[in-house]
Structure 1
Amino acid sequence: MAADRELVKAWRPPIKGITEVLHARFVEHAYPMHVHDSWTVLIIDDGMVRYDLDRHEHGALTKLVTLLPPYVPHNGRAANSQGFRKRVLYLDQAELGEDLIGPAVDHPALGDPQLRQSIDRLHTALLSPGEELEAETRLKLIHERLHTHLLRTTDDNPAPPDPRLARDLRDLLDSHINEGISLDEAARHLHRHPTHLIRAFTRAYAMAPHQYLTSRRVDQARHLLLQGLPPSTAAIDSGFYDQSHLTRHFKRILGVSPARYASQR
């Protein structure tokens, strides 16, 4: 049946700036002309979408990032009988600003592999409870790259190293290992823009803030496991969402599961 081929998963994640996430597969459904009050950031995983925006026809392809501005009518339909599979971020309209609506209408298709990869990884983080800091980090960098495209600017003069700021952020993360801290909270505390924090930290330590926090949590979990705590308790006490969240990162970093690691003591 056709209905069996139309699949939709939608939710609102606890990430400031994202109003909704949509993962969908459509074969026969065709969107009529409609508008959103948010920015639409679309990637296609299979197939192709044809759509009209401001009386011009466009195509959303798997290699592209499609950016549709708020309040501008558009439609959408599969380009062939095989349908399409897509993932969509709906961003609060204030995240990019009304002054960028015109450039987005003129250039909705962005051929930027790095941007597409960042959006793909953001969707993965949004599906994983406990990865809020990673999602925030990726979203900030996506915002910056979208601004770069729409304003047609380049990063020929990157910010100079700021090791003191990097150390301050590291100390802040170390003091919030269990409960975590959002990028916006860190930015308010350190009086810097969140994106500047990310770049300063990554330049100093060759890893993003969320990667550092995760590695510190794994390190803390190791100590708790060797003290005899079961993996489920060690997970919560070291700041992970649950035991499966700990296991995923523990195996990735140390090569074995928490239970196997503890059994060797």
Structure 2
Amino acid sequence: MSAGAEVRAWRPGLTGVVEVLHAHFPSHAYPSHTHDAWTILIVDEGVVRYDLDRHEHGLAQSKVSLLPPHVPHDGRSVLPQGFRKRVLYLAPDRLGDGLIGAAVDQPEYADPLLRHRIHQLHGVLSDGQEHLEAQSRLTLIEERLSQHLRHDVVTPPDRRDAGVAARLRELLDAHVTEGITLEDAAKLVHAHPAHLVRAFTREYGMPPHRYLTGRRVDLARRYLLDGLPAGDVAPLSGFYDQSHLNRHFRKMLGVTPTSFRRSAGRPS
């Protein structure tokens, strides 16, 4: 490893993402190599220059780079202080072999919405506890990337679909504790996952993962009012652990679950 380099890499447990990498390289330069995955790269500090299929490209902080599988590329810093980057590696079938040529021709996108969504997904994956949110955010990222590769980036029409939204809400209500994957929900509702997320958000004013979190907090409140300790309430109400419960409970109610439980039965 280059002097002063910092690397954090992990498998996130999110279907479709084979690896996440966060790295700071003050001086490292990548030799030419390939990946067997789609590589989604954003730069947080510095500027990166790279050759892809013998053509030179540059990536600044405002852009997103998508490197296709099996195509040689390298990487180096433009600035003397190096660069800081975050990378998602997607399984090859998430975008498909048919789009590799388009990615070689145009591997960078000046798309603030896409970059923001990628930034949000990295935050969710760093936490590792919000599975439905991660699935939803990945679905919208993949849809946006596919639009770029097919040269048909558009703003999705503001189309309401109350039936699809209602069926998803019924599924979320029926699986509050154990949860349900976005892919499974899409199969049961017979809708594309991205449409499912958008339809629900437009109909109810919040994305599916936020609705599910609210239902879990409501369930936790009932258990706490029944006198159960917070440590037991977390798994019973669908949270990863007590810390996970505490974070969402405080965000929604402004107090910890333990404080809420202590207040039970006391009139204002």
Which TM bucket (shorter chain)? over 0.9
- How far did residue 192 of structure 1 move? 1.9
Q: Percent same amino acid at aligned positions?
A: 56
- How far did residue 111 of structure 1 move? 0.8
Residue of structure 1 equivalent to 2:32: 33
Q: Which runs of 4+ in 1 moved over 4 A?
A: none
- How far did residue 129 of structure 1 move? 3.0
Partner-residue secondary structure (3-state), 2:221:
helix
Residue of structure 2 equivalent to 1:109: 108
Matches within 5 A, 1:101-250: 101-155=100-154, 158=157, 160-250=159-249
Compared with structure 1, are the counterparts of its residues 43 and 252 closer, same or farther at alpha carbon in structure 2 (3 Å cutoff)?
Answer: same
- How far did residue 2 of structure 1 move? 5.5
Greater mean alpha carbon deviation, residues 132-141 or residues 52-61: 52-61
Give the partner amino acid of 2:118. Answer: I
TM-score calculated relative to the size of structure 2: 0.94
- How far did residue 123 of structure 1 move? 0.8
Partner-residue secondary structure (3-state), 1:127:
helix
- Structure 1 CA distance for aligned equivalents of residues 114 and 261 of structure 2: 40
Structure 1, unaligned runs of 5 or more: none
- Structure 1 CA distance for aligned equivalents of residues 183 and 45 of structure 2: 35
- How far did residue 159 of structure 1 move? 6.8
The count of aligned residue pairs is 264
Asked if 2 retains the 8 angstrom alpha-carbon contact of 1:129 and 1:241, the reply is no
Asked if 1 retains the 8 angstrom alpha-carbon contact of 2:2 and 2:25, the reply is no
- Structure 2 CA distance for aligned equivalents of residues 113 and 69 of structure 1: 21
Give the partner amino acid of 2:166. Answer: R
TM-score calculated relative to the size of structure 1: 0.95
- Structure 1 CA distance for aligned equivalents of residues 155 and 238 of structure 2: 39
1:180-217 residue CA offsets vs partner (Å, 9 max, x unmatched): 00011111222222112111111111111111101110
1:91-147 residue CA offsets vs partner (Å, 9 max, x unmatched): 011111122112211211111111111111111111223211110000000011111
Greater mean alpha carbon deviation, residues 152-161 or residues 113-122: 152-161
Asked if 1 retains the 8 angstrom alpha-carbon contact of 2:8 and 2:23, the reply is yes
Asked if 2 retains the 8 angstrom alpha-carbon contact of 1:46 and 1:62, the reply is yes
Greater mean alpha carbon deviation, residues 127-136 or residues 33-42: 127-136
- How far did residue 263 of structure 1 move? 2.2
Greater mean alpha carbon deviation, residues 10-19 or residues 153-162: 153-162
Structure 2, unaligned runs of 5 or more: none
- Structure 2 CA distance for aligned equivalents of residues 72 and 151 of structure 1: 19
Compared with structure 1, are the counterparts of its residues 45 and 179 closer, same or farther at alpha carbon in structure 2 (3 Å cutoff)?
Answer: same
